[in-house]
């Protein structure tokens, strides 16, 4: 049913395929807390606080009074930190008044910083912090939201290795970041410009050298692709890009985005011809931290056949998760014998045989079963039915109509 890809191999290849993004000799591990049943779960604080608040933060950065500017001892473009009055959605921002032109042998422009954020939003990437154009002390530049808490790969001594429960999602983030760098031809993807927060979110900064008319790719050795991001990239065209980026990029720079996208397509087509689509076009469908959704009433409005078909098709997408590699899912614990889900309307009578409990993770239902290695974590679950929990386990390679997770740990949210 589920085709699988060895995620540990993917992660290692992704972290070592570019000399500027190399694996640290001494891996740095961000703080993680192992909790057990009965303990409250404290989620790591993430730095991507702009998600869902983009318009609010954009308006704030564009109009807020700046109390002072201070030189930042990083980079070669002399960025400054702008301090702001307390009480706003952002406490400070990075100020980059880079006049478009050649600097230090590269074409630099503050407009590229804004364009990178706008394109990130258009693609639904959510890795580039909010960036706006504004004027301070008579100079125009880019105001980039300050990202905290986060550390650069350079500060960590190289690319960090995540805990096993985040390995798959982290690997996919690296894939997506390299795809984005290739699309915009980011000529400066060094370890100081890739950040990671305690929740293992990847954040991309410093795009002042991006969007050159050059059609080269920043990561020519690309070997894997996020199929969902690639589908969105394929939908880009000149009218849409002009409407989104025309204020900051020239017609030639916009056309170069499409030309690089076409070059990426040639590379991807060649990889698929050699290795097959399922080995190249990856899909990660069960992201740790998925928002739980209340279980629908059994007597609710019937679901259309088309929607059921789409959900079942999505359930059979090949995940980028290896059986016997521990991964995390978050959702509501349910009793499968009493819970009538979308899949249950069309399943075979014995589809849930051997699985009494399930996890409603976002819009997906997972069957939960005991792990042969340790029966105890699963044994604690019946007392938690109806509660939001985080399940850590392995995706079992079983011929079922929905995924089966063998529980190795459980945490109350």
- The CATH number of the domain holding residue 387 is 2.40.50
| pLDDT above 50 (res 141) | yes
Provide the domain limits for residue 70.
Answer: 54-145
- Name the pLDDT band for 367 (thresholds 50, 70, 90): confident
Question: Considering the domain boundaries, does residue 101 fall inside one?
Answer: yes
Mean pLDDT along residues 5-14 = 34
Supply the CATH number for residue 264's domain: 1.10.1070
Instruction: State both tokens at 377.
Output: 């974590």
Question: Considering the domain boundaries, does residue 298 fall inside one?
Answer: no
Q: Please write the tens of the pLDDT for every residue from 320-358.
A: 333 334 567 788 888 876 654 433 333 333 444 456 788
Question: Considering the domain boundaries, does residue 29 fall inside one?
Answer: yes
Q: Is the N-terminal amide bond of 18 cis, ω within 30° of 0?
A: no
Q: Taking a C-beta distance cutoff of 8 angstroms, is the pair 395, 371 a contact?
A: no
CA atoms within 13 A on the CB side of 342: 20
How many Cβ atoms are within 10 Å of 214's Cβ, its own excluded? 12
Q: Taking a C-beta distance cutoff of 8 angstroms, is the pair 217, 260 a contact?
A: yes
Q: Taking a C-beta distance cutoff of 8 angstroms, is the pair 169, 176 a contact?
A: no
What is the SS3 assignment for 371? strand
Q: Please write the tens of the pLDDT for every residue from 27-48.
A: 333 332 222 233 333 457 789 9
Q: Taking a C-beta distance cutoff of 8 angstroms, is the pair 286, 354 a contact?
A: no
Asked if 34 and 92 sit in the same domain, the reply is no
- Name the pLDDT band for 123 (thresholds 50, 70, 90): very high
What pLDDT is stored for residue 43 in this prediction? Answer: 52
- How far apart CA 238 and CA 242 sit, in angstroms, is 6
- Name the pLDDT band for 120 (thresholds 50, 70, 90): very high
Query: Phi first, then psi: what are they for 270, rounded to 5°?
Result: -65, -40
- How far apart CA 94 and CA 146 sit, in angstroms, is 6
- How far apart CA 362 and CA 145 sit, in angstroms, is 29
Asked if 246 and 338 sit in the same domain, the reply is no
**Count: domains in the chain:** 3
Q: Is the N-terminal amide bond of 149 cis, ω within 30° of 0?
A: yes
Q: What is the pTM of this model?
A: 0.64
Question: Considering the domain boundaries, does residue 333 fall inside one?
Answer: yes
Q: Taking a C-beta distance cutoff of 8 angstroms, is the pair 224, 180 a contact?
A: no
Instruction: State both tokens at 302.
Output: 């019937």
Residue 240 CA to chain centroid, in angstroms?
23
What is the SS3 assignment for 43? coil
- Name the pLDDT band for 115 (thresholds 50, 70, 90): very high
Question: Considering the domain boundaries, does residue 291 fall inside one?
Answer: no
Q: Which of 207, 217, 127 is nearest to 172 (CA)?
A: 127
Given 123, 145, 167, which residue is the final one in a domain? Answer: 145
What is the SS3 assignment for 254? helix
């Amino acid at each position: 049913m589920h085709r699988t890809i060895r995620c540990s191999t993917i992660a290692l290849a992704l972290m070592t395929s570019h000399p500027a993004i190399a694996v640290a000799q001494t891996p740095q591990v961000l703080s993680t807390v192992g909790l057990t049943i009965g303990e409250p779960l404290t989620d790591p604080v993430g730095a991507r606080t702009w998600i869902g608040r983009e318009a609010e933060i954009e308006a704030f950065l564009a109009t807020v009074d700046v109390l002072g500017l201070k030189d930042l001892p990083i980079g070669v473009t002399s960025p400054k930190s702008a301090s702001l009055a307390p009480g706003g959605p952002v406490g400070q921002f990075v100020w980059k008044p880079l006049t478009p032109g050649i600097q230090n042998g590269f074409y630099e422009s503050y407009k590229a910083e804004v364009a990178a954020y706008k394109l990130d939003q258009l693609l639904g990437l959510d890795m580039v912090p909010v960036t706006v154009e504004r004027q301070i002390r008579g100079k125009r530049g880019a105001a980039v939201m300050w990202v905290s808490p986060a550390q650069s790969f350079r500060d960590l001594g190289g690319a960090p290795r995540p805990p096993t429960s985040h390995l798959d999602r982290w690997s996919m983030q690296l894939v997506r970041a390299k795809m984005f760098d290739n699309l915009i031809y980011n000529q400066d993807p060094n370890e100081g410009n890739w950040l990671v927060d305690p929740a293992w979110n990847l954040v991309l900064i410093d795009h002042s050298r991006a969007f050159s008319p050059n059609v080269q790719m920043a990561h020519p050795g690309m070997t894997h692709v996020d199929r969902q991001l690639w589908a969105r990239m394929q939908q880009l065209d000149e009218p849409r890009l002009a409407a989104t980026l025309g204020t900051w990029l020239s017609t030639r720079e916009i056309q170069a985005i499409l030309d690089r996208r076409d070059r990426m397509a040639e590379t991807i087509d060649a990889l698929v011809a050699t290795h097959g689509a399922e080995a190249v076009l990856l899909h990660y469908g069960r992201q740790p931290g998925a928002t739980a959704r209340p279980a629908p009433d059994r007597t609710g409005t019937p679901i259309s056949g088309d929607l059921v078909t789409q959900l079942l098709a999505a359930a059979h997408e090949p995940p980028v998760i290896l059986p016997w590699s521990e991964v995390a899912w978050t959702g509501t614990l349910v009793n499968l014998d009493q819970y009538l889900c979308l899949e249950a309307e069309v399943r075979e009578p014995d589809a849930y045989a051997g699985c009494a409990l399930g996890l409603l993770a976002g819009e997906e239902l997972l069957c939960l079963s005991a792990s042969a290695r340790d029966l105890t974590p699963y044994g604690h679950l019946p007392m938690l039915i109806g509660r939001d929990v985080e399940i850590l386990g392995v995706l079992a390679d079983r011929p079922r109509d929905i995924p089966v997770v063998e529980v190795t740990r459980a945490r109350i949210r």
